[in-house]
Structure 1
Amino acid sequence: MDFHNNEVLPQERQQRIHALLKANGRVVASDLAVRFGVSEDSIRRDLREMASKGMCRKVYGGALLPTAHFDALSQRMQRHDGERSVLARHAASLLQAGQTVLLDAGSTNVEIAQALRGVPITVVTNAPTVAAVLCDDPVAEVVMIGGRVDRASGGAIGGSAQRQLADLQVDVCIPGICALDPETGVWGNSAEEAAFKQAMIQASGVTIIVAGAGKLGTRATYRIGTLAQVDHLVVAADLSAELREQFMAGQMQLHLVPVDAA
């Protein structure tokens, strides 16, 4: 829908821009100027104001959704998240008995580990919380990656952990991520964390990414990899049409999982 009405108040225009941003994951300043019948300078002012309020993340030529904020792992695990649970179970269903899987830290991956109980599988993990879920399982084998445990993610990262990954070659990896942008790829919030996840991908034959709605169409600070390095992307089925089209344009397999009943 076009809004060729330059008499629309800036606050109302910003709310409409925000709605477009939530639906599509990104907006382009030149397109918005045409849509609203105003100058690009007016749109850029709108985007600056919106960024100052945390409504968007301004980038060259437009804006993206703001990078999702993540509480400590212990806090995230205490909150019920139906979407996270459903996506985790679907991701676990993609794994096969007898495989060796690199399972990163994170609340989603803890739920993937729970879904893997009873499956004869080898899980290599840098996360004490993931290992705790499976260490007493009679058919699963758990291998720990050691090193300094990052308080934010709950997983071991740094040089020691990366060197251990360098000596591995596994079937599948499921790295935790902070943001996923269809143009620029997969993102993390710290350099050490991103480097560890890059090493995970290098050590694996297949990469699975599980991303909740808050991570889609966003970027963080440190890039982990491109979408070309992702083999399976697991997201909720109510993905916007634009993001769906962009993700389907790549070579990866897109899994659209219904979460309404979660």
Structure 2
Amino acid sequence: MLTAERRRSIMQTLHHDGKVLASELSKDLNVSEDTIRRDLRELAVAGMLQRVHGGALPISPATASFTERQQQAAGAKAAIAQAAIQFIRQHQVIILDGGTTPLQVAQHLPYDLRATVITHSPPVASALAEHPEIEVIVIGGKLYKHGVVSVGAATVEAYSNIRADLCFLGISGLHPEVGISTLDLEEAYVKRAIIASAAEVVALTSAEKLGTAAPYVVGP
């Protein structure tokens, strides 16, 4: 079997099963595990899968730019936002994570909602700037440009001193093998701090991210 054919077979198995194991691929394709690991490495470099210990998982679609992601599954994200706001009660302290789906939540908050929203996302803060009843607290730090959010030690420290009623978490991938994952290590630390700061966590994800993984694990 040619290399291109073998790698095409690997991708077909990945799409069908939701994961691949190097040991099983080695037996199925009658090649060494070293050959399979090399194939997985090259496919990962090409952005076609996410390598994990012993194999690979489907890659998160969140690698596109923020502007591009705003156009992807926009209707589904709006529907998710409408469902998410049902968890909100008057006068709560709410953390809104960065990302295109949390941004939709911000844009759909009722105008009669009285609450405090804490965010490290400039787009989310901007979306709430003219809301008449919501107090907006913006957490600073270093700008992670892909996600358009603040990250770093200062961001994590700020969240560690907050006790929120509810948080809406944006995620890059959700897979039963690894849980919630994201594309940036510093962003993963921030998301963990957000989860620790909130009494209740609502993870927001559209269908195309289900069964996919990104490099950095946030939690189960």
Fold conserved between structures, TM > 0.5: yes
Matched, 1:136 2:130: yes
Matched, 1:149 2:143: yes
Contact 2:141 2:152 in 1 (8 A): yes
* Superposition TM-score, scaled by structure 2 size: 0.80
Contact 1:24 1:217 in 2 (8 A): no
Aligned to 1:89: 82
- Residue by residue over 1:150-207, the C-alpha shift from the partner in whole angstroms, topping out at 9 and shown as x without a partner, is 2221122222222221221001112222222212222222222111111111111111
Contact 1:25 1:216 in 2 (8 A): no
Residue segments in structure 1 that go unaligned for 5+ positions in a row: 1-7, 228-262
Q: Larger deviation: 183-192 or 212-221? A: 212-221
Contact 2:50 2:215 in 1 (8 A): no
CA distance 1:99–1:178, shift in 2 (3 Å) = same
Q: Percent identity of the aligned residues?
A: 33
RMSD (CA atoms): 2.9
Matched, 1:162 2:148: no
Aligned to 2:14: 21
CA distance 1:117–1:74, shift in 2 (3 Å) = farther
Indicate the SS of the match to 2:166.
strand
Residue segments in structure 2 that go unaligned for 5+ positions in a row: none
* Superposition TM-score, scaled by structure 1 size: 0.69
**Matches of 1:53 and 1:73, distance apart in 2:** 20
CA distance 1:120–1:18, shift in 2 (3 Å) = same
Shift of 1:124: 0.9
After the TM superposition, which residues 108-257 of structure 1 pair with which residues of structure 2 at under 5 Å, given as runs?
Answer: 108-118=101-111, 119-225=113-219, 227=220
CA distance 1:57–1:136, shift in 2 (3 Å) = closer
Shift of 1:220: 2.4
For this pair of structures, how many residues does the alignment match? 217
Shift of 1:87: 2.1
CA distance 1:17–1:171, shift in 2 (3 Å) = same
After the TM superposition, which residues 49-68 of structure 1 pair with which residues of structure 2 at under 5 Å, given as runs?
Answer: 50-51=43-44, 53-68=46-61
Aligned to 2:95: 102
**Matches of 2:157 and 2:188, distance apart in 1:** 14
Indicate the SS of the match to 1:124.
strand
Shift of 1:10: 7.3
- Residue by residue over 1:63-84, the C-alpha shift from the partner in whole angstroms, topping out at 9 and shown as x without a partner, is 2112435333244335662222
Aligned to 2:32: 41
Shift of 1:215: 2.8
Higher-RCO chain (CA-CA 8 Å, sequence separation at least 6): 2
